[in-house]
Amino acid sequence: MPEKYTPGYSSNATNFMANRSVDTHAAFFTPYLRPGMKLLDCGCGPGAIALGLAKAIAPGTLTGIDTEASQIQIAAESAFTQAVSNANFLEGNIYALPFPDNTFDAIFSHALFEHLQEPVQALRELQRVLKPGGIVGLRSPDWGGCLIAPFPPELDKAITYYKWLHEQNSGNPYVGRELRALLRETGFINIKASASYQCYEPLSAIAEYLAVRIEASGNVDQAVEKGWTDERSLTTMSSALREWSQHPDGFFAQAWCEVVGQKG
C-alpha cells in the first residue's frame, strides 16, 4: 500500500503546522547545534521549525526538503520574508535524497516518521548523507499516550478513527515509542531518547485540525466509497470534536517522543 501523508496540505493543516517553532518543537535538538553546521531538515513542511534551526546554525546552511511543492514554496517565501539567507528548500524524498554521501553535520526530522511505511530504509538514507560523527534528531507523536478530558464516546470514536485512518495510509501512529529501536537497528550509536507533552491551547486548534481531516477523508481517502465509514459518522465525529473544544474543562495533551543518535 502506498504511503499517504495523513494530515494533507489543506490551508487548515498547513496553518496548524506553521504554528510550530524551534522553542516549542525542537528544544531537544538545539543543544547539539553549533554555528557553521550544514543541517538537513527532512519533511520541513511550511518551514516554521526549519527557519529557527537556520538561525541557530548561522553562518552555516540549512537545507529543507519535502515531497510537496506547495510546502516548499511556503517555506521559501517565509525565508525571504524573514530575511533568513542561509536556508534553502527543495523537493525531495527521504528514501532517495539528492545529496552525496557524508554531506551534512546534522539531520533533523519532525513529525515525519509516523507517516513512513519503511522507516529503517529512510534512516539508512539519512545515515548515508550524514558525515561520520554526525547527529540525527527525530521527533514524532505517539497517539497511544494522549491525555484527553472529558472523553465522551463520540470523541473517542473520532480519535480512534483518525488513528485508524493514519494506519490505512501506511503510517504508524505509535512510532514515537519505537524511535530508539529504529536508530539502534540502523547502526546509530550514543542514542538518547526522551518524551514530552504538548498541551493544546486553545483546544480549537487541535479539534478543528482533526475535524477538518476527518470530514475530508470522505473524498481524500474515499473512506465512504471503500466502506470504511459513512457520511453520517463523519459528521457526528467532526461535530463531537468541535463541541468538545468549547468545553470549559476540555484538555488535550499529546505525547511526543524524541531521539538523538550519532553516526559511528
Is the predicted pLDDT of residue 1 greater than 60, yes or no? Answer: no
On the CB side of 198, how many CA atoms lie within 13 Å of its CA?
23
Closest CA to 10 of 204, 247, 212: 212
What mean pLDDT do residues 48-56 have?
A: 98
DSSP state of 243: H
In the chain, where do the E strands start and end?
A: 38-42, 61-66, 87-91, 104-110, 130-141, 147-149, 189-199, 251-262
User: Distance between CA atoms of 164 and 35, rounded to whole angstroms?
Assistant: 42
Threshold 0.75, pTM exceeds: yes
User: Distance between CA atoms of 63 and 209, rounded to whole angstroms?
Assistant: 28
> Does the N-terminal peptide bond of residue 59 adopt cis geometry, omega within 30 degrees of 0?
yes
Which pLDDT band holds residue 2 (cuts at 50, 70, 90)?
confident
Which pLDDT band holds residue 42 (cuts at 50, 70, 90)?
very high
What mean pLDDT do residues 102-127 have?
A: 98
Structural domains in the chain? 8-141 (3.40.50.150), 143-170+189-259 (no CATH)
Q: Is 36 left (phi over 0), alpha (psi -120 to 50) or beta?
A: left
Contact 154, 42 (CB under 8 A): no
- Dihedral angle sign, alpha carbons of residues 24, 116, 258, 78: negative
pLDDT digits (tens, 9 = 90+) for 4-30: 999 999 999 999 999 999 999 999 999
pLDDT digits (tens, 9 = 90+) for 76-108: 999 999 999 999 999 999 999 999 999 999 999
Cell for 73? Answer: 514554496
Closest CA to 3 of 118, 111, 140, 163: 118
> Does the N-terminal peptide bond of residue 132 adopt cis geometry, omega within 30 degrees of 0?
no
User: Distance between CA atoms of 187 and 135, rounded to whole angstroms?
Assistant: 13
Mean pLDDT rounded to a whole number for the chain: 97
